[in-house]
């Protein structure tokens, strides 16, 4: 279908069609310039090119069709929202984090300027009526992670039904476990009330399986990037991770496994992208919500591949699985807590687990250095960079901290810093 044919659907969703057109054109151009000009891409990326070309079209139509069939769509902004419970209630979850500069002026008509761009971006998509995912949601689920997010959810509630989960910040205490488990149970009830479906053990087990399979496929793709030359660019791998928050789960898993098959074959044949004599960089820090391709594109424009992402749009999402130890509903819910409290977001304190994970990952992926991404005004990731830097130094892995937003003003300055950083690195 063409954009013209989708216009009626977008109108019914309440989008500002004029602004939305500008956004789509900018997205198509940015994608063409960054992704389609890459050399020697895996054939399996063709599927993801198609998905992105239809990201506001076919996929939204699927969601709208589900809504017409009485199913619910849930929007989330953080990995801590247990998607297994959403799917167990026969609802669909989509990620709503914003990665575009485009929506920030709309956000700034309401919010203060000096807050994180990710938060401003998603809020701007809602107030500017330019995101069909946001407008498809029957409910959005926030969480008490960073200050910017939790306060913005209060304001967002004036625009859309918003539910907030309380996420404890000290994770390794009995009190924290009790609070978190009770929040998971409350969320289960919330899903049951919204959908009218009681979550039974079998549906939850099936949802756990569904999401675990998706994460295993993503981990397979990620694992192939340990090879030198890396079989896929960091940009393409990032895109796969970003699409995991939008695409139909079964189809995404199938296509990601097919991509992993191809990448494993490439590794066996010694086929890759980029020059294996160059250093390899690992990315760490704040998430890069779609269409934030800024740092990856800058780094890879210098001829240096990004080989891993320690990020929520990356390893923090797919590394751990929900692994129930028993068959009761309580065991299933405890397994969900167990997996989710292991996502080491910088909002936790203390957060030594993340520091260890970053160092381990840099070694596993043979990274010559780490580029640490801080989104402007993200205090948690910014301050945690001190400990990460210290631990990486001790392990002999240099780190470059880049604090940036979604604008293009600092692109050349970052490129110069990345070039200077990689010049002093030796290939691993």
Joined tokens for residue 177? 């476990």
Measured from the CB atom, is 80 or 421 closer to ligand BJ8? 80
User: Where do the DSSP E strands lie in 118-173?
Assistant: 139-143, 162-165
What percentage of the chain's residues is helix, strand, coil (to nearest 5)?
55, 10, 40
- Cis-peptide into 229, omega within 30 deg: yes
Q: Cβ of residue 343: shortest distance to ligand BJ8, in angstroms?
A: 6
Joined tokens for residue 121? 């971006």
* Element holding 180 (H helix, E strand): helix 174-195
Measured from the CB atom, is 149 or 255 closer to ligand BJ8? 149
Q: Cβ of residue 2: shortest distance to ligand BJ8, in angstroms?
A: 34
Q: Cβ of residue 189: shortest distance to ligand BJ8, in angstroms?
A: 22
Q: Cβ of residue 245: shortest distance to ligand BJ8, in angstroms?
A: 10
Q: Cβ of residue 322: shortest distance to ligand BJ8, in angstroms?
A: 16
CA angle centred on 123, ends 24 and 214, rounded to 5°: 70
Q: Cβ of residue 101: shortest distance to ligand BJ8, in angstroms?
A: 15
Q: Cβ of residue 237: shortest distance to ligand BJ8, in angstroms?
A: 18
Joined tokens for residue 7? 């216009």
Q: Cβ of residue 214: shortest distance to ligand BJ8, in angstroms?
A: 17
Measured from the CB atom, is 44 or 117 closer to ligand BJ8? 117
Q: Cβ of residue 93: shortest distance to ligand BJ8, in angstroms?
A: 13
Joined tokens for residue 264? 């494993």
Measured from the CB atom, is 13 or 336 closer to ligand BJ8? 336
Measured from the CB atom, is 148 or 263 closer to ligand BJ8? 148
User: Where do the DSSP E strands lie in 241-289?
Assistant: 281-285
Rounded distance between C-alpha atoms, residue 38 and residue 202, angstroms: 44
Rounded distance between C-alpha atoms, residue 261 and residue 231, angstroms: 11
Measured from the CB atom, is 215 or 255 closer to ligand BJ8? 215
Kindly report the number of other CB atoms within 10 A of residue 223's CB atom.
16
Measured from the CB atom, is 240 or 312 closer to ligand BJ8? 312
Joined tokens for residue 106? 């709309």
Residue 148: CA count within 13 A, CB half-sphere: 24
List Cβ neighbours of 151 (8 Å cut-off, separation of 6 or more).
none
List Cβ neighbours of 125 (8 Å cut-off, separation of 6 or more).
96, 98, 100, 103, 106, 131, 134
Q: Cβ of residue 374: shortest distance to ligand BJ8, in angstroms?
A: 8
Nearest to 27 by CA among 123, 125, 120, 115: 125
Rounded distance between C-alpha atoms, residue 209 and residue 119, angstroms: 31
Buried b (16+ CB within 10 A) or exposed e, 321-346: ebebeeeeeeebbbbbbbbbbebbbb
Measured from the CB atom, is 59 or 149 closer to ligand BJ8? 149
Measured from the CB atom, is 262 or 389 closer to ligand BJ8? 389
Residue 92: CA count within 13 A, CB half-sphere: 26
Measured from the CB atom, is 78 or 100 closer to ligand BJ8? 78
Q: Is the separation of the CB atoms in 45 and 110 below 8 Å?
A: no
Binding site for ligand BJ8 (CB under 6 A): 78-80, 116, 118-119, 145-146, 148-149, 286-287, 312, 343, 345, 347, 375, 378, 380-381
Measured from the CB atom, is 91 or 116 closer to ligand BJ8? 116
Q: Cβ of residue 85: shortest distance to ligand BJ8, in angstroms?
A: 17
């Amino acid at each position: 279908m063409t954009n013209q044919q989708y216009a009626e659907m977008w109108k019914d969703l309440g989008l500002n069609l004029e602004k939305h057109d500008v956004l789509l054109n900018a997205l198509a151009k940015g994608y063409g310039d960054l992704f389609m000009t890459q050399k020697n891409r895996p054939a399996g990326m063709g599927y993801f090119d198609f998905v992105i070309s239809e990201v506001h079209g076919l996929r939204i139509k699927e969601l709208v069709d589900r809504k017409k069939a009485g199913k619910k769509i849930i929007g989330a902004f953080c990995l801590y929202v247990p998607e297994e419970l959403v799917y167990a209630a026969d609802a669909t979850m989509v990620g709503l984090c914003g990665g575009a500069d485009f929506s920030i002026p709309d956000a700034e008509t309401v919010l203060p300027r000096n807050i994180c761009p990710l938060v401003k971006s998603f809020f701007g998509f809602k107030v500017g009526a330019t995101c069909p995912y946001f407008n498809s949601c029957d409910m959005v689920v926030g969480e008490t992670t960073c200050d910017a997010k939790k306060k913005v959810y209060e304001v967002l509630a004036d625009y859309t039904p918003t539910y907030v989960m309380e996420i404890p910040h000290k994770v390794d205490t009995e009190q924290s476990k009790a609070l978190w488990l009770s929040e998971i149970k409350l969320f289960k009830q919330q899903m049951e009330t919204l959908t009218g479906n009681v979550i039974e053990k079998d549906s939850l087990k099936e949802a756990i399986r569904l999401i675990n399979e998706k994460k295993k496929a993503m981990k397979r793709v990620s694992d192939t990037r340990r090879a030198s030359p890396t079989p896929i660019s960091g940009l393409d791998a990032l895109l796969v991770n970003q699409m995991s928050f939008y695409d139909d789960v079964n189809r995404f898993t199938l296509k990601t496994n097919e991509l992993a098959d191809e990448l494993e074959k490439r590794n066996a044949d010694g086929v890759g992208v980029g020059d294996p004599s160059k250093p390899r960089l690992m990315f760490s820090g704040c998430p890069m919500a779609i269409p934030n391709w800024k740092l990856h594109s800058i780094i890879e424009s210098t001829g240096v591949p990004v080989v891993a992402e320690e990020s929520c749009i990356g390893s923090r999402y797919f590394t751990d699985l929900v692994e129930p130890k028993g068959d009761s509903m309580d065991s299933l819910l405890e397994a969900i807590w167990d997996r989710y409290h292991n996502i080491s977001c910088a909002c936790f304190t203390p957060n030594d687990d993340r520091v260890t994970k970053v160092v381990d990952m840099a070694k596993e992926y043979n990274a010559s250095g780490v580029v640490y991404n801080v989104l402007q005004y993200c205090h948690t990731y910014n301050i945690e960079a001190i400990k990460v830097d210290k631990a990486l130094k001790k392990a002999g892995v240099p780190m470059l901290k880049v604090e940036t937003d979604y604008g293009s003003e600092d692109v050349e300055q970052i490129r110069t810093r990345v070039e200077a950083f990689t010049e002093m690195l030796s290939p691993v």
